[in-house]
Amino acid sequence: MESNFTLLDGSIVGFYLLATMVAGIMVRKYVGKVEHFLVAGREMNVYLGIASLAATEFGIVTCMYTAQAGYTKGFVGAIPGICNAVAMFLVGYTGFCVKPLRDSGVMTIPELFERRYGKFVRWLAGVVIVVGGLLNMGVFLRVGGQFLVVCCGMNVQYLEIAMTVLLVGVAVYTILGGMLSVLVTDFLQFVVMSAGLLAVTILILWNVGWTSLVETVTTHFQAKGFNPFVYKEGIFKITEFDTGWGFVISNLLTNTAAVLTWQTCIARLLSAKDTKTGRKVYTGTAFFFICRWVIPGIWGIAALGGVASGFLSSEHLTEIAKTMGEKDSSLFAMPYYLSQLVPAGLMGVLVAAMLAADMSTDSSYMLTWGSVIYNDILAPFRGKSEPKTIKNIKIVCILAGWAILYLALFAAGKAGSLMHFLGVSLGLVLFLFGLMYKPGPDKAAISEARGILWNRFIVAAIGIFLMFWGLWYKLEGNLWEYLQTTGTIYLASMSTLLIACCYWKRANDWGATAAIVVGAVLPISSLAINMAHKVQIPLLDKAGNAILDAAGQVTMTQVGWAKLNIGDSWVNIGTYAIVAITMVVGSMIKPRAENRIP
């Protein structure tokens, strides 16, 4: 693949990576307690919090799916960013849920749940948060590597090497310094990232022009490229899965729930000096969430215009997707466009900016999911154990192990494949743990030094998992829709539990447990159905016409049954609605005499 990436650009990137590693490792000496490692001793100020949250929530994967949204939907692709910004500002301004959460002094959301719903709900919430989060993050590394390969013109055989080097570098300073290292490097990464984004956007607007971008959207999408509620001749079509009411409502629910419970956002809130500071971080970061959709969206629209004008080869774009082992070429239009447009020198700044964004995201995500594993999932196995909680955990492990074994054997692909092996192994481990685990005598509280060691080990283990998942998982369909679906595994239930915990006195463990189970089962079932049951449909162009091959035959493609017949947006909407109903019904049917923390 040809690119403008030169030795000068490589030197710029190398210097940036070295500076980041040094800055991240130098603060390790200030980590003396678990609280320092997980929430930076709760000393984060407003400006550092805004820079850190903005840097964390913009990775290469963010740039890729937001650019893909611009390429496939026009300006309407920025709707999720508008929803996110509105939710972030309103939650920060009003203090809805985040004020009682920060005032509680907890380090994770499940820790707060224990006070209302009990120890088992805390553990179960932790499991769902980690499963949903890791499935969501699982595509980050591969997508990041794909961007570097296409944009820098690297040979695709080096994709795994690039992913490994990036992950190891991030893991080193995250393991050593925890949240302190994350915050320090985030600030540096925010500066580099912002400079790169602005420089490339100015270059695109200078070369293409705003009028040309508008004309591109008008030509390819007509009115529906500007208005999410318009479909073709202005007809409001509720059942349209691509845009329409379902698209807007789904994104509004997902982004509001993410503002309230997405672990990387909550980690900044809980690391803030006080509640007022945390709320200011939310309101101060809100506008950036529009920028993180609009700026890459512009890049995606420019790439679409480049393909239409012949500046980019549509055949070569298709070949790039095939080389990457992916079915959808729209994901690679933006990096392909940048590889041809951005000159040497500025290319180094761009790649450094993208690496800055990706390293910030990876470090924060590994740390936040690791904090939930240590603080909540392992909590029943540290210190004093309760027989009822352990019994419930064993039951969940047996059922989950059986379900994973079933999916691995019948829906995960050919026997002998890596996916098959990992599924069977995980299923057996969970099943046997549920059957055979017996709690020993109560243990003394873990020392601070040992707690930090455990957290470092957990972060390293997450890195190893992400490497395996990133190497073999092949994305099918739209990246943002995949992230929404996997995020919903815990966003729907956790947001419902948090709102009920803060504002509904009747909420209890019956309703919470049922809501968690339903909230996880529905999106996971949708993913499993889409993997196991494919439907052949004609491949359509943007005008809705069937694409013909060289022989004049209609080109067919495969799509998951649930995606075709229900739609990802309506799976998300249905999940939020059913989880809320389940929470209310489950809490109401429990007798008031038993409505206490178990």
Lookup result for tokens 């700026």: 295
Tokens in use for 505? 């006195």
C-alpha closest to that of 261 among 389, 135, 386, 91: 91
> In the prediction, which pLDDT does 206 show?
92
Q: How many domains does the chain have?
A: 2
C-alpha closest to that of 220 among 292, 296, 302, 293: 302
In the chain, the amino acid numbered 499 is: I
Same-domain status, 438 and 457: no
Strand-pair partners of 556: 538
Same-domain status, 100 and 130: yes
> In the prediction, which pLDDT does 366 show?
79
Tokens in use for 232? 């073709």
User: For the segment 72-94, what is each residue's pLDDT rounded down to a tens digit?
Assistant: 888 988 898 999 999 999 999 99
343: left (phi over 0), alpha (psi -120 to 50) or beta: beta
Instruction: Flag whether 523 is in a domain.
Output: no
The segment with the largest mean pLDDT, out of 78-87, 132-141, 246-255, 482-491, is 78-87
Same-domain status, 146 and 55: yes
Instruction: Flag whether 203 is in a domain.
Output: yes
Same-domain status, 352 and 432: no
Instruction: Flag whether 557 is in a domain.
Output: no
Burial class (CB in 10 A: 0-12, 13-18, 19+), 228: buried
Same-domain status, 172 and 242: yes
> In the prediction, which pLDDT does 578 show?
94
Q: Does residue 594 register a pLDDT over 60?
A: no
- Domain encompassing residue 392: 384-442
Same-domain status, 273 and 396: no
C-alpha closest to that of 533 among 417, 404, 424, 407: 407
Region of poorest pLDDT, from 96-100, 234-238, 366-370, 388-392: 234-238
Region of poorest pLDDT, from 100-114, 131-145, 233-247, 269-283: 233-247
Helix ranges (DSSP H) in 46-139: 46-56, 60-73, 79-94, 98-103, 109-117, 119-137
User: For the segment 528-565, what is each residue's pLDDT rounded down to a tens digit?
Assistant: 777 677 777 776 655 556 666 666 666 666 777 777 77
Same-domain status, 330 and 432: no
Q: Does residue 480 register a pLDDT over 50?
A: yes
Q: Does residue 240 register a pLDDT over 60?
A: no
The segment with the largest mean pLDDT, out of 4-18, 23-37, 136-150, is 136-150
**Cα separations in angstroms, 543 against 36, 219, 232, 376, 598:** 55, 10, 9, 50, 58
Same-domain status, 284 and 405: no
Is residue 423 a contact partner of residue 459, using CB atoms and an 8 Å limit? no
Mean pLDDT score, 22-43: 65
Same-domain status, 140 and 38: yes
Phi, psi of 546 (to 5 degrees): -65, 140
Same-domain status, 199 and 143: yes
Same-domain status, 375 and 427: no
186: left (phi over 0), alpha (psi -120 to 50) or beta: alpha
Instruction: Flag whether 266 is in a domain.
Output: yes
Q: Does residue 374 register a pLDDT over 70?
A: yes
> In the prediction, which pLDDT does 283 show?
93
Instruction: Flag whether 508 is in a domain.
Output: no
> In the prediction, which pLDDT does 232 show?
45
- Domain containing residue 264: CATH number: 1.20.1730.10
Same-domain status, 319 and 404: no
Is residue 228 a contact partner of residue 252, using CB atoms and an 8 Å limit? no
Phi, psi of 106 (to 5 degrees): -80, 165
In the chain, the amino acid numbered 163 is: M
Instruction: Flag whether 338 is in a domain.
Output: yes
Instruction: Flag whether 593 is in a domain.
Output: no
Euclidean distance between CA atoms 51 and 56, whole angstroms: 8
Mean pLDDT score, 141-151: 81
Is residue 228 a contact partner of residue 217, using CB atoms and an 8 Å limit? no
Tokens in use for 271? 């690391």
Region of poorest pLDDT, from 180-194, 243-257, 276-290: 180-194
> In the prediction, which pLDDT does 587 show?
92
Distance of CA 77 to the CA centre of its chain: 17
6: left (phi over 0), alpha (psi -120 to 50) or beta: beta
Instruction: Flag whether 222 is in a domain.
Output: yes
pTM of the model: 0.80
Is residue 364 a contact partner of residue 201, using CB atoms and an 8 Å limit? no
345: left (phi over 0), alpha (psi -120 to 50) or beta: left
More confident residue, 20 or 541: 20
